[in-house]
Structures are given as structure tokens and as C-alpha cells.
Amino acid sequence: MGETNRFGAVTLATIQTWLKDLGATAKVTPVIDTTHQWGIDAHDPPEAMREQVIARDRHCVYPNCTTDSRSCDLDHIEAYDPNGPPGQTTPENLAPLCRRHHLVKTHGRWTYARNKDGTYTWASPYGRTWLVTTFGTVELPTN
């Protein structure tokens, strides 16, 4: 078995057939280490970092959103400061947000954090919180 970006698990025979059918237009990319830690001194991540984040988070990480991460913006969880320290753009500080939820986060006073286990905790401006995992979203109890 192998895995594709958009079709999930498929047999290697199926992949071989696709490559044969595509011929010279086929593009095979290397395996991406989704745990590689690195940073750059610019706002926009390089393509390799974008691919790393997209491979790690397969969809928008806003609560209950299922928009494919390839269609998303990459958001700085902690806002990028052009006068701030070097290395602010890292995979750990980036997350895919669809355009709608990127705007909600940027202009709607929503906040979120990436947890050490790869989940995300979101807080609305109304006091409600959610935990977003690869399996779905759970609203957290209020205190």
C-alpha cells in the first residue's frame, strides 16, 4: 500500500498504473518529514515548509472545518513581527486556515495555539473553546 495526497491509501499497482498513464507529466515528490524543525527570517514560508505543514495538517485547523489544506492560507499562529526576532516563520508557528477562517482569526478576535501533541486549542471572543484534532473537533467545557 502507498498513500497519495488527495486519494488516501491505494495499492502500489494503482500508483504504477497512474504513473504509466500520466507518462512524462507525472510528478513524484519525496517523503516529507513532518517533524523537521527549522525556521526562516521572512514572513512567507518557502515551498518546502508549506509542503511540510500541508502534509502534517490535512485540513483547515479551525473548529469543524474540513477544507483541504492545499486550498488554505498558512497562518502565523503567533503574529509575524517584521521587527521581531529571527526565525519566526517555522512549521510549529504555521497552520493551514481556509481564507474565511483566516479572516475570522485575524479580524474576529479568535485565538488559537498548537499543542505539543499536534492538536489545536481555539478560543472564541465569547468564552467558548474547542480542541481540534485529526479526528474532529470537541467543544471543551467552560469553567
- pTM of this prediction? 0.80
Confidence of residue 3 (pLDDT cuts 50, 70, 90): low
Phi, psi of 139 (to 5 degrees): -75, 135
Q: Quote the pLDDT of residue 5.
A: 62
Q: What is the DSSP string of 75-107?
A: EESSPP-TTS-S--B-GGGEEEE-HHHHHHHHH
The structural domains of the chain, with segments of one domain joined by +, span: 1-30, 31-140
More confident residue, 92 or 8: 92
Confidence of residue 32 (pLDDT cuts 50, 70, 90): confident
Which residue would you say has higher pLDDT here, 8 or 141?
141
Q: State the cell numbers at 127.
A: 468564552
* C-alpha pair distances (Å), 21 with each of 2, 12, 80, 102: 18, 14, 44, 38
Strand, helix or coil at 1? Answer: coil
Instruction: List, for residues 37-96, the tens digit of each pLDDT value.
Output: 999 999 999 999 999 999 999 999 999 999 999 999 999 999 999 999 999 999 999 999
Q: C-alpha dihedral over 39, 83, 110, 62, to 10 degrees?
A: -20
The label of the residue with cell 519566526 reads: 88
- Judged on CB neighbours under 10 Å (0-12, 13-18, 19+), 134 is exposed
User: Given CA atoms 135, 139, 141, 143 in this order, what sign does their dihedral have?
Assistant: positive
Q: What is the pLDDT of residue 13?
A: 84
Task: Look up cell 470537541; give the residue.
Answer: 138
Average pLDDT in the chain: 91
